[in-house]
Amino acid sequence: MKLSLALLGLSASIVSTSPLDKWSSRFHASPHAVDMFNTAIEWNDGYWDDEAGYLISAASSPGRYDSRHTAWYAPQLLARNGPGDVAKAIRIFDNVISGQYLDPSKQWYGDYQQAPSEPQPGTLVYPDDGPYSSWDPNIRVFVGCSWIVALNDYGHLLPRATVAKVEKSLHIAAKGDLYRVGGVDGDNSYPCYSNPWLMRTIFHNWVGARVGDANLTQSGEIFAQDIYDLWSKHHTLSEFNSPTYAGVAMWALALWNQYATKDSSLKKYGPEMLEASWNELAQLYNANLKNLAGPWDRSYGYNMKEYASLVGAVIWGVIGRKHAPVPQQNLGMFHQDDLAFYPLFALSMPTMVKTMSEKAKASLLKFPGEHVYSSQAFSPPFDTYPRNITAWMSKDVTIGAETIAEELVGGPSINPSQFSPAVIQWAIDEQKIGCISHWVTESSIHAVATPGSLHISYPNATSALGPISFNFLFSGLTINNGFNVTGLEGLPGLKLKVSTNAQPDYTMTYVGSGGVNEFSYYNVTYTMPESFTGEPFVTLQIV
């Protein structure tokens, strides 16, 4: 069953035929949001195993089935309300709740299994090596926030017993989420971990009000104040400019605006923070390249047109798939499991766009012209000082960078495969996008983007830790271009001059698909002389 686009925008005399029709007409959902909902839920339909009552995992997962994605599917089914959809949703609630951890003495209390085949965490066969090992503490809020949508908007479709069961489960999950304290037992739950912190805030606010738990309601207020105070320092989220997690943050802020209790600070702070997110997105998005300029605190790839990102979902909901930074086909996309999330973004788009200016929307469709962007973001306790962010945006080339000083390598998330503090993107031709991303080996990096130039240096590098090197990953070549990469100077569609005090004889290796974030790339490495003293640097200049 699909939502008929013909119903959108017509007079109120047209009688809606399903809850999704009523949703689209009541909240003035755009045809783009409805198209995204239909496209993505049909993709989910294809992974449904009716015998198991779960979605089959589309990507990496501890098992054949994925509990989180299956939980997301339940409110989508209720919103569509086609033949058999409500019965499927009820099965999902029963199945996912049966995998909830109920021992209050454990750190994972109230969390849900990653996959229904998993043994209990903390056992000899499935040891507990801390969060994100045999259990994922973020699943509580990903499941919980999606089920807020289910109960708040579509609970009338469910039997009372199911509603009560889900409410009880969410209450346990929210109480378990209170076990999370940054720096305790290996937990990384700080306000700077933007996307789960924003989700936990509305989760506690809504569940507390729903079940009459004043402690949870108050927790939501405290969490809201914590992240707002941090955000207010620079009017940026700490998890800065992530093609995936900036999208999750915007969705969570839409939930603040849509579902928070009317007297809550979430209602006060949410619109301001979401409006700023739209404006930042408009500054850093290049509609010609259909990509966010760097730097990226967390990224799952080098070209948003090739992988499912959640900023891509946000933009699809505003301007349509054809113009959005999303793959134009489904089966071959990278990181495709996040497509399971898209229908929930579609349902929140009418709320999300209320804080979007016409200027920001126009920038998503048409590049506004060459400009520079500068800002700061701060992620305590990981940053020793706020990260300084610079970007240069031109019609066919973007350069982005951030200066950072931390104790560990890999950015605030301590993950080198996701952290890209210095990035150049450009149009190789009308279809292909090239990307040079700096692969981090240092925890202190001075990186600055200026018009036509990227400068990187290591102010605190020491050879005591091994050879000092600058590593650049070049990605973007696909088929039929007949190009043999020989280094950074002379790449297709981009003429660069490399200046450095590293050794001139760089090394280069090729890694095929299955490399970093599934993308293939060339690794071009400049290494400092062993006896070098001073500050290592590399400058890439467009000529």
Mean pLDDT for 50-71 is 91
113/143 Cα distance (integer angstroms): 11
| 398 domain-assigned | yes
13/10 Cα distance (integer angstroms): 8
Last residue of a domain, one of 331, 364, 397: 364
- Per-residue model confidence as pLDDT tens digits over 266-318: 999 999 999 999 999 999 999 999 999 999 999 999 999 999 999 999 999 99
pLDDT value at 482 more than 60: no
367/286 Cα distance (integer angstroms): 6
| 163 domain-assigned | yes
**pLDDT reported for residue 481:** 59
Q: Torsions phi, psi of 332, nearest 5?
A: -95, 5
Residues 152 and 295 both lie in one domain:
yes
Residues 394 and 353 both lie in one domain:
no
- Per-residue model confidence as pLDDT tens digits over 394-441: 999 999 999 999 999 999 999 999 999 999 999 998 889 999 999 999
Residues 339 and 416 both lie in one domain:
no
Which CATH number goes with the domain that contains 133? 1.50.10
Residues 112 and 261 both lie in one domain:
yes
pLDDT value at 186 more than 80: yes
Last residue of a domain, one of 364, 382, 411: 364
pLDDT value at 204 more than 50: yes
- Per-residue model confidence as pLDDT tens digits over 485-508: 899 998 999 999 999 999 999 999
| 17 domain-assigned | no
142/416 Cα distance (integer angstroms): 24
- Min mean pLDDT across 454-458, 463-467, 475-479 is at 463-467
- Amino acid letter at 329? Q
Residues 236 and 118 both lie in one domain:
yes
Domain count, the chain: 2
- Per-residue model confidence as pLDDT tens digits over 317-334: 999 999 999 999 888 889
pLDDT value at 12 more than 60: no
363/352 Cα distance (integer angstroms): 17
| 506 domain-assigned | yes
Residues 356 and 426 both lie in one domain:
no
| 35 domain-assigned | yes
Burial class (CB in 10 A: 0-12, 13-18, 19+), 188: buried
Which letter, b or e, does each residue of 224-254 get, where b requires 16 or more Cβ atoms within 10 Å of its Cβ?
Answer: beebbebbeebebbbbbbbbbbbbbbbbbbb
Last residue of a domain, one of 294, 329, 364: 364
pLDDT value at 171 more than 50: yes
**pLDDT reported for residue 15:** 35
Mean pLDDT for 356-362 is 97
Mean pLDDT for 502-522 is 88
| 447 domain-assigned | yes
Judged by DSSP in three states, 497 sits in: strand
Mean pLDDT for 61-78 is 94
pLDDT band, residue 59 (cuts 50/70/90): confident
**pLDDT reported for residue 479:** 65
pLDDT band, residue 477 (cuts 50/70/90): confident
**pLDDT reported for residue 14:** 29
Residues 286 and 421 both lie in one domain:
no
How large a percentage of the chain has pLDDT more than 90? 85
Q: Which residues contact 331 (CB under 8 A, 6 or more apart)?
A: none
Minimal CA–CA distance to 345: which of 469, 418, 461, 255?
A: 255
Residues 193 and 86 both lie in one domain:
yes
| 385 domain-assigned | yes
Residues 344 and 387 both lie in one domain:
no
455/328 Cα distance (integer angstroms): 35
pLDDT value at 464 more than 90: no
Judged by DSSP in three states, 70 sits in: helix
**pLDDT reported for residue 157:** 98
Q: Which residues contact 108 (CB under 8 A, 6 or more apart)?
A: 101, 121, 122, 128, 135, 137, 176
pLDDT value at 8 more than 50: no
Type and span of the H or E element at 172: helix 160-177
Residues 354 and 377 both lie in one domain:
no
516 vs 211, which has greater pLDDT? Answer: 211
| 1 domain-assigned | no
185/177 Cα distance (integer angstroms): 14
Residues 246 and 137 both lie in one domain:
yes
**pLDDT reported for residue 60:** 65
Residues 355 and 451 both lie in one domain:
no
Instruction: Provide the residue range defining the domain that includes 408.
Output: 369-542
Residue with tokens 């009716």: 50
Across the chain, what does the average pLDDT equal? 92
